[in-house]
Amino acid sequence: MSMLHLVNKSPYENSNLKTATSIMNDGDTLLLIEDAVVSAVKAGKASAMLDGCKVSVLGPDLAARGISEDKLVDGIDVVDYTGFVDLVESNDKVQSWL
Amino acid sequence: MSQTKKFMYINRKAPYGTIYAWEALEVVLIGAAFEQDVSVTFMDDGVYQLVKGQDTSGIGMKNFSPTYAALGDFEITKIYVEQESLEERGLTLDDLQHLVWEDEDEDYAEKDSIRLVSRAELGSVLAEQDVLFNF
Amino acid sequence: MKLTIQVNEGPYQHQSADSAYYFAKAALEKGHEIYRIFFYHDGVNNGTRLTTPPQDDRNIVARWSELAKEHDIDMVLCVAAAQRRGIVDDGEAERNGKDATNIAPGFRISGLGQLVEGGIQSDRLVVFGD
């Protein structure tokens, strides 16, 4: 059983990303959408929270915020909305950290 | 009953600053009629929803905290409160309402509904659920 | 995959309604079924037909109505949340003595049980909110 964790708020705004990454189990996936995509910028302090997690990030939300893929942490998977749907399907349930 | 799923309602926000705490509770109460395997979690600022002695007269909002005491009557007996969330906020279990349910299999003996769990334990509990509600 | 989608925020204020819409579209394009889209909290504001967004911006409400019509999706506004926020259909207007209705096409107002039932009947519940 694995869970898809959705985080949509910037880690510089609130602690949802901290909560999600600290409670995630092995085998779970974290998907960053909306303002949370800023977490994935390698040069940002918050990207350290992503260490050790399986992370995907929504491409359209990166592009909207002017974040190019070369700025991202290594090993992160950029997906589109179809990829988002696939992640929901391939995990047993979805936890939205609102 | 064709299928029973493990439903978890997760509360992470303090009451009154936003409506989520109250409107989440409404789902829990209505959901109780659907005879699923229900648990409720209070973590992060959600632990404030259960704090005793709420006096809302100065802010003009209805104090809905007495409703939590009724959860036992709605057969909601598994209420998880996260230890780290309490500690971070300088709270202990004593600051929270004492929530109970009556076990009809044991002569209506009163039992504690609140299960104090660590974040790691809560992670395991969440992993066991089928449906996760967030507000 | 049978999906229930919950939308907790109103149009424009938060990206939730947009994210939910694009997720729903992608799911339908992949051949999945959307069992229900349930609008709760300020999400019920996605169901007013009285919005006039700028011409050069997306029309979130109309977009939902079109999606519902094209794919025959059950889009439900929670009755308690709708009453609180003033989203009214004929039945609610009559019951609560309102002199107008404002519900958009493709939406219906119903109880929280619809959300719970969506959780029971679907393979996945996906929540979009603040």
Q: Average pLDDT, stretch C30-48?
A: 98
CB contact under 8 Å between C23 and A81, yes or no, is yes
Between the alpha carbon of residue C128 and those of residues A1, A64, A98, B131, C20, the distances in Å are 22, 19, 8, 15, 6
- pLDDT higher than 90, residue B63: yes
Res. B51: pLDDT tops 90: yes
Identity at C118, one-letter amino acid code? G
C114: alpha, beta or left? (left if phi > 0; alpha if psi -120 to 50): alpha
Find the CB nearest A23 among B122, B128, B131.
Answer: B122
Contact C111 B30 (CB under 8 A): yes
Domain ranges of chain B: 6-134
CATH class of B6-134: alpha beta
| Nearest-neighbour CA in chain C from A11: distance (Å) | 13
Number of domains in chain A: 1
The minimal CB distance from A84 to the residues C26, C127, C129 is found for C26
Minimal CA separation from C79 to chain A, in Å: 22
- Asked whether residue B2 carries a pLDDT value surpassing 80, the answer given is no
What value does the mean pLDDT of chain A take? 98
Picking from C8, C116, C126 by the largest number of B CB atoms within 10 A of its own CB, the best residue to mutate is C116
Give chain B's mean pLDDT: 97
**pLDDT tens sequence across A31-63:** 999 999 999 999 999 999 999 999 999 999 999
How far is it, in rounded angstroms, from Cα C124 to Cα C5?
A: 8
Look at A19 and B130 and tell me if their CB atoms are within 8 Å. no
- Distance of alpha carbon B128 from alpha carbon C109, whole angstroms: 33
Closest residue of chain A to C16, computed from CA coordinates: A34
In the DSSP assignment, the letter for residue B118 is: -
Instruction: Please state, for a pLDDT cut of 70, what percent of chain B lies above it.
Output: 99
Q: Which chains touch C (3 or more CB pairs under 8 A)?
A: A, B
Task: Report all structural domains of chain C as residue ranges with CATH numbers, in order of start.
Answer: 2-128 (3.40.1260.10)
Residue with tokens 């009214």: C88
Mean pLDDT, chain C, rounded, equals 98
Residue C59 predicted with pLDDT over 60:
yes
Write out the catalytic residue numbers of C.
78
Please report residues of C whose CB lies closer than 8 A to that of B32.
none
According to DSSP, the β-strands at B100-103 and B6-11 are unpaired
Residues of A in contact with C8 (CB under 8 A): 98
Which pLDDT score, from 0 to 100, does residue B1 have? 46
Confidence band (pLDDT; 50, 70, 90) for A64? very high
The yes-or-no verdict on residue C22 having pLDDT over 50 is yes
pLDDT tens for residues A2-40? 999 999 999 999 999 999 999 999 999 999 999 999 999
Residue to substitute from A6, A32, A81, interface C, most C β-carbons within 10 A: A81
**Contact between chains at C120 and B34 (C-beta distance less than 8 A):** yes
Q: Is the pLDDT reported for residue C80 higher than 80?
A: yes
Asked if ipTM goes beyond 0.90, one says: yes
Query: Strand, helix or coil at A77?
Result: strand
Q: Average pLDDT in the B46-55 region?
A: 98
Closest by Cα among C64, C38, C41 to C117: C38
For residue A1, what pLDDT is reported? Answer: 84
Is B12's CB within 8 Å of A95's CB? no
How distant is the Cα of C23 from the closest Cα of chain B, in angstroms? 18
Chain A CB contacts of C1 under 8 Å are 88-89
Give residue C56's pLDDT. Answer: 97
Kindly report the pTM of this predicted structure.
0.97
Mean pLDDT of C59-76: 98
Q: What is the CATH classification number for the domain harbouring A64?
A: 3.40.1260.10
Give the CA-trace dihedral at A62, A67, A70, A76, to 10 degrees: -30
Q: Do C125 and B30 touch (CB under 8 A)?
A: no
pLDDT of B105 over the 90 cut: yes
Is pLDDT at C65 greater than 50 in this prediction?
yes
Q: At residue B77, what are phi and psi to the nearest 5 degrees?
A: -115, -5
Pair type for strands B109-112 and C33-39: unpaired
Residues of C in contact with B134 (CB under 8 A): 127, 129
Domain interval for residue A85: 3-97
